[in-house]
Amino acid sequence: MHRGPCGSWLASDEAISITQKIRSLSMLTKLLFLLSLTTAAQASEPVVLVTENFPPYNMSSDGKSFAREPEIQGIAADLVREMFRRADVPYSMTLRFPWTRVYQQAKDTPNHGVFVLAREPDREHLFKWVGPLGPDDWVLLARAGSTLQLDSLEQAKGLRVGAYKGDAIAESLQKSGLKPVLVLRDQDNAKKLSTGEIDLWATGDPAGRYLARQIGMTAFKTVLRFNGTQLYLALNKSVPDELVKKLQDNLDQMREDGFVDATFARYL
């Protein structure tokens, strides 16, 4: 059948369009295949968990600033370990120092997680969260013989308040206009309070009580309870949502069957 020039051009355009669609579909299929391979590889890779010495939630068995499994103990360490075991998710666990390095590593590195971390509004979008693993009430402690009496943080201005560098408590104090004396290990504040180097120790409860007992310090009192938060396992944003849900579901089950309460009872 004879076709004029216009018909020839139309047939040619249709052929080109069909060819382009086939190529686009082929490229899309390849991309989806590569994405599936990447997701599968990520799912099979162990989640890299990092933590710090923050008793009684996480700590090394020998008190040193570096440890790997199984030398990492504590309430949160035991809960996280059981959570991953029940979910059948491979992981590695390392305790490091200082906290600022541990935090940045988990935030910036794919397939990483950090515990325990206070779930604060300014951190909400930085991680995917599993928890809570336990409470962390914020208190100001003084020596037992101190005459200090406080009704608000405002009244602590001008006093020497010890806090832990990089911790949510220290950040909160700074936002409130205080200038805390910062240390790299919270247990150092317990010693400084006992020797009179600081007037007040801003710490968490039960963490502060546990740390004080480790150095034989029981003569202190709470002069202000100014906040409270919950502590979580914080996972890098790259961790798949399905995995996060799987871990959360197992933690919820551990709470229901009594495992969480039994773990707290072993340490407190």
Which pLDDT score is estimated for 206?
87
* Same domain membership, residue 93 and residue 210: no
* Same domain membership, residue 244 and residue 209: no
Which pLDDT score is estimated for 48?
98
* Same domain membership, residue 114 and residue 61: yes
Q: Would you place residue 193 in the very low, low, confident or very high pLDDT band (cuts 50, 70, 90)?
A: very high
19 domain residue, yes or no: no
Number of domains in the chain: 2
* Same domain membership, residue 204 and residue 151: yes
How far is residue 196's CA from residue 213's CA, in Å, rounded to a whole number? 17
* Same domain membership, residue 110 and residue 88: yes
* Same domain membership, residue 104 and residue 64: yes
* Same domain membership, residue 174 and residue 107: no
32 domain residue, yes or no: no
* Same domain membership, residue 148 and residue 94: no
| pLDDT exceeds 80 at position 19 | no
Top-confidence residue, 8 or 115: 115
182's tokens = 């910062």
The pTM is what?
0.68
| % of the chain surpassing 90 pLDDT | 71
| pLDDT exceeds 80 at position 12 | no
Give mean pLDDT, residues 176-195: 94
Helix, strand, coil % in the chain, rounded to nearest 5:
45, 25, 30
Q: How much is the mean pLDDT over the chain? A: 87
Which pLDDT score is estimated for 14?
58
7 domain residue, yes or no: no
Which pLDDT score is estimated for 216?
84
14 domain residue, yes or no: no
201-227 residue pLDDT tens:
999 998 888 888 888 888 889 999 998
* Same domain membership, residue 82 and residue 193: no
Which pLDDT score is estimated for 215?
81
Rg (CA), the chain: 27
* Same domain membership, residue 234 and residue 120: yes
6 domain residue, yes or no: no
185 domain residue, yes or no: yes
38-79 residue pLDDT tens:
444 445 699 999 999 988 999 999 989 999 999 999 999 999
| pLDDT exceeds 60 at position 7 | no
129-152 residue pLDDT tens:
999 999 989 999 999 989 999 999
100-116 residue pLDDT tens:
999 999 999 999 999 99
CA–CA distances in Å: residue 245 to residues 83, 130, 235, 239, 262: 11, 8, 12, 11, 23
CATH of the domain at 125: 3.40.190.10
151 domain residue, yes or no: yes
How far is residue 142's CA from residue 150's CA, in Å, rounded to a whole number? 11
218 domain residue, yes or no: yes
Top-confidence residue, 48 or 36: 48
* Same domain membership, residue 247 and residue 115: yes
Domain carrying residue 72:
44-135+230-267
Top-confidence residue, 209 or 155: 155
* Same domain membership, residue 247 and residue 118: yes
How far is residue 96's CA from residue 60's CA, in Å, rounded to a whole number? 9
Which pLDDT score is estimated for 20?
64
